[in-house]
A = this chain, B = another copy of it.
Amino acid sequence: MHTKPILQLALDYIDLAPALAMAYLLRDEVEVIEIGTPLTKAEGMRAVSTVRHLCPGNLILADVKTPDVGGVEAKICFDAGADWMTVLGAAPLATVRLALEEAISRPGKEAIIELTGVRDILARAQEWRAMGMERMVYHRGWDEGNTARTWDPADWETIRVLIDMGFKISVAGGIDLETIPFFRGLDISVFNIGRAIREAEDPVDAARSFRALIDELWSEPIGAAAV
């Protein structure tokens, strides 16, 4: 079945009130709502539980980027109402495995690899895939994005290989309407959008523009489009 990429809104705030307001405003425009890493630390799991309460129809991602104690961090995220949580790719394999085991024990929950700090992505990806990890955030970091790195053809090729390995890929980091066509030809699972929606004059309208562009560019299955 042909599945189009879905939209994720990143709540990159450190105060709960504006995060809740933005989540509520966008709840019918995006499939996934992400509690950003700094917000999970500023407000703790009540950021997850309040968004869960306010947005019962969305998938909630707790972007905790777990570096250790994987089973415990996955459990607190899921207990608070998160559907997905992230574990750091730079974490020990044992941490990834413990987060995954906690997710697998709870129907509908997913632990997701997040690539911050990983240098040998494809080698590590083989290990994670063999372990049973199915989803990965291909992430251009905030601090990196603010200084140097942009999306380039090497990213495109790496993402293609990861998808061929069987990973569902979320892409994140400085994505705006101009960036979306870069990902054409890739069976992207989730587009994670932050500032380009939150800081738009009309965030709802911005989200709809992303949806329209994605629906247009991913109107056919990738296999056919790539021909």
Measured CB to CB, the residues of A under 8 A from B are 12, 14, 37-38, 40-47, 64-65, 67-70, 72-73, 76, 88, 90-92, 94-95, 98, 114, 116-118, 141-144, 146-148
In the complex formed, the residue of B with least CB distance to A48 is B41
Which B residues are in CB contact (< 8 Å) with A116? 67-68, 88, 90-92
Q: Which of B40, B45, B68 contacts A143 (CB 8 A)?
A: B68
Alpha-carbon gap, A90 to B45, bound state (A) = 24
Q: How many copies does the complex hold?
A: 2
Which B residues are in CB contact (< 8 Å) with A94? 141, 143-144, 146-148
Flag if A117 contacts B67 (CB, 8 Å): yes
Flag if A143 contacts B44 (CB, 8 Å): no
Which B residues are in CB contact (< 8 Å) with A118? 90
Which B residues are in CB contact (< 8 Å) with A42? 44-45, 76
Flag if A68 contacts B98 (CB, 8 Å): no
Which B residues are in CB contact (< 8 Å) with A141? 67-68, 91-92, 94-95
Flag if B64 contacts A41 (CB, 8 Å): yes
In the complex formed, the residue of B with least CB distance to A76 is B42
Which B residues are in CB contact (< 8 Å) with A92? 116-117, 141, 143-144
The contact sample of 26 A-B pairs, CB cut-off 8 A, is A12-B69, A37-B69, A38-B72, A41-B41, A42-B44, A43-B44, A44-B45, A65-B68, A67-B67, A67-B90, A67-B114, A67-B116, A67-B117, A68-B141, A68-B142, A88-B88, A88-B116, A90-B116, A91-B143, A92-B117, A92-B143, A92-B144, A94-B146, A94-B148, A95-B141, A95-B144
Which B residues are in CB contact (< 8 Å) with A47? 44
Q: Which of B43, B88, B143 contacts A90 (CB 8 A)?
A: B88
Q: Which of B41, B44, B95, B143 contacts A95 (CB 8 A)?
A: B143
In the complex formed, the residue of B with least CB distance to A77 is B41
Alpha-carbon gap, A146 to B65, bound state (A) = 20
Alpha-carbon gap, A37 to B95, bound state (A) = 14
In the complex formed, the residue of B with least CB distance to A90 is B117
Which B residues are in CB contact (< 8 Å) with A43? 44-45
